[in-house]
Amino acid sequence: MTTATDRPPPARHRASATPWRASPAAALQAAAWAGGIAVLALWWRDTGSVVGAAGWLTGAGRITGLLCGYMCALLVALTARVPWLESRVGSDRAARWHASAGRWTIGLLLAHLLLIVLGYAAQAQVGVLRELGTIVFDLPEMLKATAGALILLAVGYTSVRAVRRRMRYETWYHLHLFTYAAVFLGFSHQLALGADFVSNPPARAAWYTLYISVACLVLYFRVLIPVRLNLRHRIHVEAVVPEAPGVYSVWMRGRRLDRLDARPGQFLRWRFLTPGLRGASHPYSLSAVPRDNLMRITVKTLGDHSAAVAALRPGTRVWAEGPYGALTAARRSRRKVLLIAGGTGITPLGTLFETLPAAPGDLTLLYRARTPEELALSGELEAVAAARGARLVYVLNNPDGSRVRITAERLRAIVPDVDRHDVYLCGPRGLSLAVYDALRDAGVPASRIHHESFEL
């Protein structure tokens, strides 16, 4: 174990690209685009000549409505937590896709509403507000669709980063559950009023198939699988142990945890069934490999939920979902591995440090913290390093408190052949961006930098 401290060099540019590109991600993106093209082809097939401003407005409204309906299905599918998607593509990328799909859905919804109302008003030669009232109150299924649109717009508003930052996570979480209601309320009007479905039974069947398939994914992976997991394992809190200032480990006991199939580096979503915590689930990585019907997470008190976790009582029942995440040994492609952790990023990387197959000298863990007191689990890590012949390097602030930056030069000084390593990275967003930039400057290909980040 060594410690690195010195004066920080000037800050350099920040990385802006997603570190790795997996072929499953490209295949899924291609499939999503193909579906969108099929939706456009459906409109093209059923559309004759377009005449006048009213025709163009109505046609554009139909296009945006069809695409909005398609995006609603994709939006919900990305919340289903399908294990293959979570492990092969990555939970962080799936979350970013969901956020992007949400923005597209809201944009298409607004365009659809505006264009349809303007087009219908032009056709009827009446005022916009009068036509809006006619659409909402006189057309079939439109009252439900209007309610669904308002819910979806409200959910979209709460997803704006500036708004979300002012909300408690639990409030945001519960508001987002209304997305399912919004999609359900809006579905029937698509088939009742959509010109592309009214006289096209194959298109109706395809639309039903799309939505029913998505509903089945959500029901199976968000409801049935978690119920089976928790009935099988019966997890409860065993003990809460302080590890560092503001950092606590929660030990949990359950039955047959070896069948949980949680790999080092993965996380679960935890719901502690006690007042104040049972309302929403939060993701925390395993900080110890499950064994002897025990498993552990390590949490830093950064908010209301994590602070309450530190006060959990033994015996508290736990509802778990997962495991999720792609930050596992399956990403490895080189003999030598460098792990870079900051803050509670040490929890998934600590399990990899313990379990990744490596010969002496081939495995290095670089652990960034401000002070020695903030080095959570340091005793365990030092024991692992000694037993495995692995390197453990602490990067701490200078004695005067000035920050130490991890640069390409510092990385080469610690690991001279860093460009021949696979690198696993986990830590706060600012640290991760800066270190990713330094790794790229040090010659590490983007395909060999593996990390998960949930900043949207």
Boundaries of domain holding 396: 2-15+328-451
pLDDT surpasses 90 at 408:
yes
User: Does pTM top 0.75 for this prediction?
Assistant: yes
User: Is 422 within 8 Å of 334 (Cβ atoms)?
Assistant: yes
Q: What's CA 416's distance to the chain center, in Å?
A: 34
- Kindly indicate the confidence band of residue 352, based on its pLDDT and cuts at 50, 70 and 90: very high
Choice among 13-27, 207-221, 379-393 with the minimum mean pLDDT: 13-27
Per-residue confidence (pLDDT) for residue 417, from 0 to 100: 93
Q: What is the pLDDT of residues 292-311, one digit of tens each?
A: 789 999 998 877 677 788 88
| Whether residue 70 sits in one domain with residue 214 | yes
| 271 and 391 together in one domain | no
Q: What angle do CA 406, 410, 411 make, to 5 degrees?
A: 85
Residues 6 or more apart whose CB falls under 8 angstroms from that of 60 comprise 111, 115, 119
Query: Nearest 10 degrees: CA dihedral of 15, 430, 264, 292?
Result: 180
Do 318 and 334 share a structural domain?
no
Residue 83 domain flag? yes
**21 confidence band (pLDDT: 50, 70, 90):** very low
429 domain-assigned: yes
User: Is the model more confident about 78 or about 1?
Assistant: 78
Same domain for 198 and 68: yes
Whole-angstrom Cα distance, residue 67 to residue 200? 17
Same domain? For 390 and 283 the reply is no
Candidates 90, 16, 76; CA nearest to 283 is 90
CB 298 within 8 A of CB 246: no
Is the Cβ–Cβ distance between 342 and 393 less than 8 Å? Answer: no
Q: Are residues 68 and 186 in the same domain?
A: yes
In a domain, 23, yes or no: no
Q: Is residue 265 part of a domain?
A: yes
Question: Is residue 393 a contact partner of residue 321, using CB atoms and an 8 Å limit?
Answer: no
Same domain, 63 and 194: yes
- 125 domain-assigned: yes
C-alpha to C-alpha distance for 43 and 48, rounded to whole angstroms? 10
* 262, containing H or E segment: none
Report helix angle 201-218 to 52-77, nearest 10: 30
Residue 209 maps to a domain: yes
| Dihedrals phi, psi of 122, to nearest 5 degrees | -65, -40
CATH number of the domain that 273 lies in? 2.40.30.10
The structural domain count of the chain equals 3
Q: How far apart are CA 179 and CA 182, in angstroms?
A: 5
Same domain, 156 and 110: yes
41 within domain boundaries: no
The H-or-E segment that residue 154 falls in is helix 142-158
- 157 residue type, one letter: Y
Is pLDDT of 452 > 50?
yes
Region 79-107: mean pLDDT is 85
If you average pLDDT over residues 166-184, what whole number do you get?
84
Give CA–CA dist 317/368, Å, rounded: 34
Regarding whether 126 and 172 lie in a shared domain, the answer is yes
Cα separation, 305 vs 61, in Å, equals 43
Burial of 132 (0-12, 13-18, 19+ CB in 10 A): middle
Last residue in a domain, options 194, 229, 264: 229
Domain boundary among 293, 324, 355: 324
Separation between Cα atoms, residue 78 and residue 363, nearest integer Å: 35
Alpha helices by DSSP H, 324-428: 346-355, 378-388, 408-414
- Note the helical H segments in 222-279: 225-233
Residue 17 pLDDT? 40
Give alpha helix (H) positions in 370-407: 378-388
- Please report, for the domain that includes residue 413, its CATH number: 3.40.50.80
pLDDT digit string (tens) for 317-332? 999 998 988 888 988 9
CA dihedral (83, 103, 42, 26) positive or negative? negative
- Residues 215, 279, single domain; the answer is no
Residue at 22 is within a domain: no
pLDDT tens per residue, range 231-279? 999 999 999 999 888 889 999 999 988 888 888 999 999 999 998 888 7
Question: Residue 19's pLDDT band (boundaries 50, 70, 90)?
Answer: very low
Whether residues 158 and 282 share a domain: the answer is no
Query: Nearest to residue 276, comparing CAs of 245, 303, 242, 249?
Result: 303
Indicate if the alpha-carbon torsion angle 396, 401, 406, 411 is positive or negative: negative
- Of 291, 324, 357, the domain-final residue: 324
**What percent of the chain lies above the pLDDT cut of 70?**
93
User: Are residues 131 and 216 located together in one domain of the fold?
Assistant: yes
